[in-house]
């Protein structure tokens, strides 16, 4: 998966802005059919796919978070995402109301979704991307 | 709380099912006679001696745990003040009715467009007979209950991987599984395989029992015929007149039955919390909450959002935002407090609980769960398929379909529980907008009931992680064995209570038992401290 993501990113850079409106960097992988494939784990294969299928349930589709009697923190414009370790740890182990998700997501999915939120929703932290190895070490 | 895995049976699972259907049933019966299988330690109304004069207790949260605490402490003579975040009482004991509006976290608003009188319980929907505590409050508060059909032989068991995805009546799988087990066990008994453990008399008794248990013929065989059809159903049922004679249908062969995996559903309603009889309040689960709230009257103050909890050696001080009064900040004080705020919320409130309790509060996550209520113009499950209440189990993402146990034969629209899922599936449902949850539930449900597509009238979908007053379904401990004592311990003048602090998590009975235990200890502390 890692290779595919890097490859996709390279294609993205080479293609330049001409395709910017049409193709996503991860266009090779179609996660639209991955919903509900398994009753025990998520099977989405892109950071975006994982985000939309699980993170969005609380952090909302645009990472805006929500407020009720308690709150779900916004991921948008979130400086806590400058380094990948914090998000990796929270996803694997949970914290407060946030459930641990290490049981329903694999190492690569967690790395991919961390990199996705660190480069979307107004966050611009493309350096030091999370890796599956980093996630494995956090478990 | 069982989350069923979609997979083919292993030999071990098959053998465990034999135990579950035969052995466990016998064991439960024996345990019940000895009084060992009683799930709830509730032993009648709590008796608190007179409260010290002028002692006030603050109760945070007007769910089941909070209202039980408030009623009992008031009756014992305490001054009681209850603060509730919502405009109504009940917490997760909640019913959505025709005309209601529900706004979830994220802002999506659902208008419940059901026919007059129809409702849906997004949270608890069942009161088992052995939950003596919550049943006693129903009795004391005159909440009218009716039977909820948990298991219905005419409902279906369904697997996308068996019988070409066609649902099969529970009755057929249940009869055939029992029949084939009995047939096989009879054979090995007669072949002498059990001679080491059974006497001749034992063997004769076992064979007699198996003939009854499994609907075997006089040769101890489970075969197509009237004996089997008397259990599993007929090709042509017994009738009257010219064609009155019944025609038996065909039993499934043992290999087809085993490879279907559908037997994995048979023990679902054998557990203490899901076996018959099981009840529902007439008109919706929140009839319990309404009765408690009516009993408490103006002791409950609504739309108060707790923002700070402090205590010292003389009492408790709580600050809240008065949402009913332009968000004014109000401070209230008491001698003691019972805190039933879910830890998902409490972990975000400014508090000064002790280190051990704070650790429990900050490490308890809340599980995901999704329920979808679907209303149809016609009760096709009754009219076309003769299913009156009960539950269909499926390996589709909706997990189950539960048919209404009220208004049978009615010609008005009826509401089904069209999806009830956990875990990975529930996360994904929760991530969708409500209308997509409903349309997915319909799409999956129509694989079992094709009528759904044409008869659909309205739907409502509640994803518990998006419920503003709980941020999740029920509390999940990081390490329950290690943390439980810290979580339930009274912290100086405050004690926490709720389903999360019980061994019946997610059940209202857990909230009741936790609350009664908590106020018992609070009362002990208060009477011990009186006069100090």
Residue B16 in domain: no
Give the pLDDT confidence of B395-424 residue by residue, as tens digits.
Answer: 999 999 999 999 999 999 999 999 999 999
| Position A21 in a domain | no
Q: Does residue B399 come out as left (phi exceeding 0), alpha (psi in the -120 to 50 range) or beta?
A: left
Distance between CA atoms of residues B505 and B376, nearest Å: 32
Q: Tell me what pLDDT residue B483 has.
A: 97
Pairing, β B56-60 against β B79-83: parallel
- Give B268 to chain A, closest Cα distance, Å: 18
User: Per the CB < 8 Å rule, is B5 touching A97?
Assistant: no
Of chain B residues 100-129, which have a CB less than 8 A from chain A? Answer: 105-107
3-class state of residue B50 by DSSP: coil
Q: Taking a C-beta distance cutoff of 8 angstroms, is the pair B331, B317 a contact?
A: yes
Q: Cβ contact (<8 Å) for A94 and B425?
A: no
List Cβ neighbours of B326 (8 Å cut-off, separation of 6 or more). none
- Count of residues in chain B: 532
Chain B residues whose CB is inside 8 A of the A57 CB are: 368, 427-428, 430-431, 463, 465-466
CA A75 to chain centre: 11
Can you tell me which residue has the tokens 């209850």?
B82
Mean pLDDT, to the nearest integer, of B432-438?
Answer: 98
In a 3-state reduction of DSSP, which class is residue B270? coil
Interface probe with A: pick from B105, B161, B461, most Cβ of A within 10 Å: B105
Does the CB of A35 have a partner CB in chain B at under 8 Å?
A: yes
Q: State the alpha helices, DSSP H only, in B191-333.
A: 200-214, 226-232, 254-260, 286-296
Q: Do A72 and B472 touch (CB under 8 A)?
A: no
> What confidence tens digit (pLDDT) does each residue in B108-118 have?
999 999 999 99
Quick one: which of B460, B87, B353 has its CA closest to A69? B87
Do B348 and B490 share a domain, yes or no? yes
* Complex-level ipTM: 0.87
* Burial of B507 (C-beta count, 10 Å sphere; 0-12/13-18/19+): buried
Give residue B383's pLDDT.
98
Q: Measured between CB atoms, which of A58, A69, A94 is closest to B465?
A: A58
Determine contact, residues B222/B180, Cβ cutoff 8 Å: yes
Q: How many residues are listed for chain A in this entry? A: 139
Are residues B210 and B227 located together in one domain of the fold? yes
Q: Does residue A98 belong to the interface with chain B, where contact is any CB pair within 8 Å?
A: yes
Q: Which H or E run includes B393? A: strand B390-394
Best probe of the B interface among A70, A94, A104, by most B CBs < 10 A, is A70
Check CB contact of A55 with chain B, cutoff 8 Å.
yes
Q: Are B280 and B402 in contact (CB under 8 A)?
A: no
CA dist., res. A13 & res. A47, Å (int): 18
Q: Looking at residue B331, which CATH number applies to its domain?
A: 3.50.50.60
Indicate which of A33, A53, A68, A103 best probes the interface with B, i.e. most B CBs within 10 Å of its own CB.
A68
pLDDT at residue B27 tops 90:
no
Provide the pairing of β-strand B365-366 with B369-376. Answer: unpaired
In a domain, residue A103? The reply is yes
Domain assignment present for residue B406? The answer is yes
Give the minimum alpha-carbon distance from A89 to chain B in angstroms, rounded to a whole number: 14
Residues 103-132, chain A, touching B (beta carbon < 8 A)? 104
- The Cα of A76 is separated from the nearest Cα of chain B by a number of Å equal to 14
Does B137 share its domain with B244?
no
Distances (CA, A) of B423 to A70, A105, B186, B426: 22, 12, 41, 5
The CATH number of residue B430's host domain is: 3.90.660.10
User: Contact A134/A85 with Cβ under 8 angstroms?
Assistant: yes
Within chain A, how many helices (H) and strands (E) appear?
Answer: 6, 2
- Closest approach of chain A CAs to the CA of B405, in angstroms? 28
Alpha carbon of residue B526 to chain centroid: 35
Q: Please determine, for residue A106, whether its predicted confidence score (pLDDT) is greater than 50.
A: yes
What 3-state DSSP class applies to B60?
strand
Structure tokens at A8: 């996709």
Chain B touched by A50 (CB under 8 Å): no
Rg over alpha carbons for chain A, rounded to the nearest Å, is 15
Query: B453-464: buried (b, 16+ CB within 10 Å) or exposed (e) per residue?
Result: eebbbbbbbbbb
**Residues B144 and B240 both lie in one domain:** no
Model pLDDT, residue A27: 52
Average pLDDT of the segment spanning B429-451: 98
Instruction: Report yes or no: A32 at the B interface, CB cutoff 8 Å.
Output: no
Q: Do B316 and B403 have their domain in common? A: no
Residues in chain A within 8 Å Cβ distance of B349: 70
Residue B523 forms part of a structural domain: yes
| In the predicted structure, residue B6 carries a pLDDT above the cut 50 | no
| pLDDT tens string B299-345 | 999 999 999 999 999 999 999 999 999 999 999 999 999 999 999 99
Residue B24 counted as domain residue? no
Backbone phi and psi for residue B311, each to the nearest 5 degrees, phi listed first: -145, 155
Q: B215 with B308, same domain?
A: no
Sign of CA dihedral B484, B487, B489, B495: negative
Q: B490 pLDDT exceeds 90? A: yes
Inter-chain CB proximity A56 and B431 less than 8 Å? yes
Q: Which of B344, B399, B463 sits opposite A57 (nearest CB)?
A: B463
Structural domains counted in chain B: 3
Residue B394 touches partner A, C-beta closer than 8 Å: no
- Domain containing B252: what range? 170-260
Do B280 and B383 share a structural domain? yes
Neighbouring C-beta atoms of residue B364, cutoff 10 Å:
27
Mean of the per-residue pLDDT values of chain B: 93
pLDDT at A16: 37
**How many angstroms separate the CA atoms of B23 and B124, rounded?**
30
Say yes or no: B359 and B372 in one domain.
Answer: no
Gap from B493 CA to chain A (nearest CA, Å): 24
* Burial track B23-44 (b if 16+ CB lie within 10 A, e otherwise): ebeeebeeeeeeeeeebbebee
Could you tell me which chain B residue has the CA closest to the CA of A40?
B424
> For residues B354 and B309, what is the distance between their CA atoms, to the nearest angstrom?
12
Domain around A127: 30-138
B85 touching A (Cβ < 8 Å):
yes
Find the mean pLDDT for residues B93-116: 97
pLDDT digits (tens, 9 = 90+) for B330-383: 999 999 999 999 999 999 999 999 999 999 999 999 999 999 999 999 999 999
CB-based contact A36 B425, cutoff 8 Å:
yes
Residue B448 counted as domain residue? yes
Q: Say which CATH number the domain at A82 has.
A: 1.10.760.10
Tell me, yes or no, whether B149 lies in a domain. Answer: yes
Q: What is the CA radius of gyration of chain B?
A: 26
Please report which residue ranges of B19-152 form alpha helices under DSSP H.
24-34, 64-75, 132-140
* Cross-chain Cβ contact A35/B469 below 8 Å: no
Compute the nearest-CA separation of A134 from chain B (Å).
Answer: 22
Same domain? For B83 and B197 the reply is no
Give domain status of residue A3, yes or no: no
pLDDT tens across B470-482, in order? 999 999 999 999 9
Which residues, other chains included, contact A34 with Cβ-Cβ below 8 Å and sequence gap of 6+? A42, A43, A44, A45, A49, A53
- Between A24 and B52, name the one with better pLDDT: B52
Q: State whether B71 and B214 are in the same domain.
A: no
Interface check for A39 against chain B (CB to CB < 8 A): the answer is yes
Which of B5, B366, B466 has its CB closest to that of A99? B366
- pLDDT at position B60 over 70: yes
The pLDDT assigned to B39 comes to: 59
Interchain contact, A72 vs B105, CB within 8 Å: yes
Edge to edge, the sheet with strand B304-311 lists: B328-334, B316-322, B304-311, B350-351
Q: Give me the pLDDT at residue B65, please.
A: 98
SS3 at position B39: coil
Question: What confidence tens digit (pLDDT) does each residue in A1-56 have?
Answer: 334 443 343 333 333 333 334 444 545 688 989 999 999 999 999 999 999 999 99
pLDDT of residue B44: 87
pLDDT over 90, % of chain B: 89
Q: Coil, strand or helix: which one is B403?
A: strand
Closest residue, chain B, to A49 (C-alpha): B428
Residue B312 placed within a domain = yes
Helix spans in B335-473 (H): 343-346, 355-363, 380-383, 423-431, 434-445, 451-455
Test B367 with A99 for CB contact under 8 angstroms.
Answer: yes
B347 touches chain A (CB under 8 A): yes
Q: Indicate which CATH number applies to the domain containing B210.
A: 1.20.1440.240
Which candidate from A40, A58, A95 shows the least CB-CB separation from B424? A40
- B4 close contact with A: CB closer than 8 A: yes
Residue-wise pLDDT for B491-526, tens only, equals: 999 999 999 999 999 999 999 999 999 999 999 999
**Domain count across chain A:** 1
Average pLDDT over residues B152-168: 97
pLDDT surpassing 70 at residue B271: yes
Q: B424 vs A35: CB contact, 8 Å cut-off?
A: no
Residue A4 covered by a domain: no
Alpha helices in B48-107 (DSSP H): 64-75
Q: Using 50, 70 and 90 to split pLDDT, how confident is the model at B272?
A: confident
pLDDT band for B530, please (50, 70, 90 cuts). Answer: low
Asked whether the beta carbons of residue B465 and residue A95 sit closer than 8 angstroms, the reply is no
**Domain shared by B390 and B437, yes or no:** yes
Tell me whether residue B30 is in a domain.
Answer: no
Residue B409 and residue B280 in one domain: yes
């Amino acid at each position: 998966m890692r290779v595919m993501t890097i490859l996709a990113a390279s294609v993205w850079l080479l293609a330049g802005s001409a395709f910017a409106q049409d193709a996503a960097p991860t266009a090779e992988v179609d996660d639209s059919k991955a919903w509900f494939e398994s009753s025990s784990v998520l099977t989405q294969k892109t950071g975006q796919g994982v985000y939309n299928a699980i993170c969005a349930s609380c952090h909302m589709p645009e990472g805006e978070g929500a407020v009720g009697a308690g709150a779900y923190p916004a991921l948008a414009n979130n400086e806590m995402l400058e380094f990948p370790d914090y998000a990796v740890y929270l996803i694997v182990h949970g914290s407060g109301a946030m459930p641990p998700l290490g049981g329903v997501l694999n190492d690569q999915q967690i790395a991919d979704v961390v990199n996705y939120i660190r480069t979307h929703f107004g966050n611009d932290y493309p350096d030091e991307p999370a890796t599956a190895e980093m996630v494995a070490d956090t478990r | 709380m069982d989350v069923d895995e979609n997979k083919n049976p292993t030999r071990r699972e098959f053998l465990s099912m034999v135990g579950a259907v035969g052995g466990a049933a016998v064991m439960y019966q024996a345990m019940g006679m000895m009084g060992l299988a009683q799930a709830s330690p509730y032993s009648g109304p709590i008796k608190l001696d007179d409260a010290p004069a002028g002692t006030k207790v603050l109760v945070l949260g007007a769910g089941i745990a909070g209202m039980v605490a408030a009623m009992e402490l008031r009756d014992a003579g305490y001054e009681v003040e209850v603060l509730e975040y919502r405009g109504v009482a009940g917490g997760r004991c909640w019913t959505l009715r025709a005309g209601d509006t529900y706004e979830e976290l994220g802002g999506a608003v659902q208008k419940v467009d059901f026919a007059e009188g129809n409702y849906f319980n997004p949270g608890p929907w069942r009161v088992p007979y052995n939950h003596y505590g919550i049943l006693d409050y129903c009795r004391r508060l005159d909440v009218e209950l009716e039977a909820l059909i948990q298991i219905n032989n005419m409902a279906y068991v369904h697997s996308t991987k068996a019988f070409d995805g066609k649902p099969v009546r529970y009755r057929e799988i249940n009869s055939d599984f029992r029949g084939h087990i009995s047939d096989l066990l009879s054979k090995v008994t007669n072949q002498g395989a059990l001679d080491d453990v059974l006497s001749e008399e034992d063997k004769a008794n076992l064979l007699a029992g198996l003939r009854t248990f499994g609907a075997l013929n006089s040769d101890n065989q489970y075969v197509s015929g009237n004996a089997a059809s008397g259990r599993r159903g007929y090709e042509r049922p017994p009738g009257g007149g010219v064609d009155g004679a019944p025609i038996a249908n065909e039993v499934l062969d043992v290999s087809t039955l085993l490879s279907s995996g559908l037997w994995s559903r048979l023990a679902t309603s054998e557990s203490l919390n899901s076996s018959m009889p099981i009840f529902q309040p007439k008109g919706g689960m929140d009839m319990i909450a309404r009765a408690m709230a009516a009993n408490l009257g103006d002791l409950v103050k609504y739309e108060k959002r707790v923002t700070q909890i402090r205590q010292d050696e003389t009492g408790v001080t709580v600050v809240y935002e008065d949402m009913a009064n332009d968000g004014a900040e109000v401070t209230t004080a008491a001698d003691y407090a019972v805190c039933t705020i879910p830890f998902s919320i409490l972990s975000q409130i400014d508090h000064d609980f002790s280190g051990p309790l704070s650790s429990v509060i900050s490490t308890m996550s809340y599980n995901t769960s999704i329920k979808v209520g679907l209303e149809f113009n016609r009760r096709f499950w009754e009219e076309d398929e003769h299913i009156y209440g009960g539950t269909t189990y499926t390996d589709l993402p909706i997990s189950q379909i539960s048919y209404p146990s009220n208004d049978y034969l009615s010609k008005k629209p009826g509401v089904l529980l069209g999806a009830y899922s956990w875990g990975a599936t529930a996360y994904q449902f929760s991530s969708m907008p409500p209308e997509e949850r409903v349309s997915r539930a319909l799409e999956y449900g129509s694989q079992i009931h094709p009528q759904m597509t044409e008869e659909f009238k309205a739907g409502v979908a509640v994803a518990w992680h998006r419920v503003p007053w709980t941020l999740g379904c029920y509390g999940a401990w990081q390490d329950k064995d290690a943390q439980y004592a810290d979580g339930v311990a009274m912290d100086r003048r405050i004690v926490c209570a709720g389903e999360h602090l019980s061994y019946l998590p997610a059940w209202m009975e857990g909230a009741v038992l936790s609350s009664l235990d908590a106020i018992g200890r609070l009362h002990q502390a208060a009477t011990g401290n009186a006069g100090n």
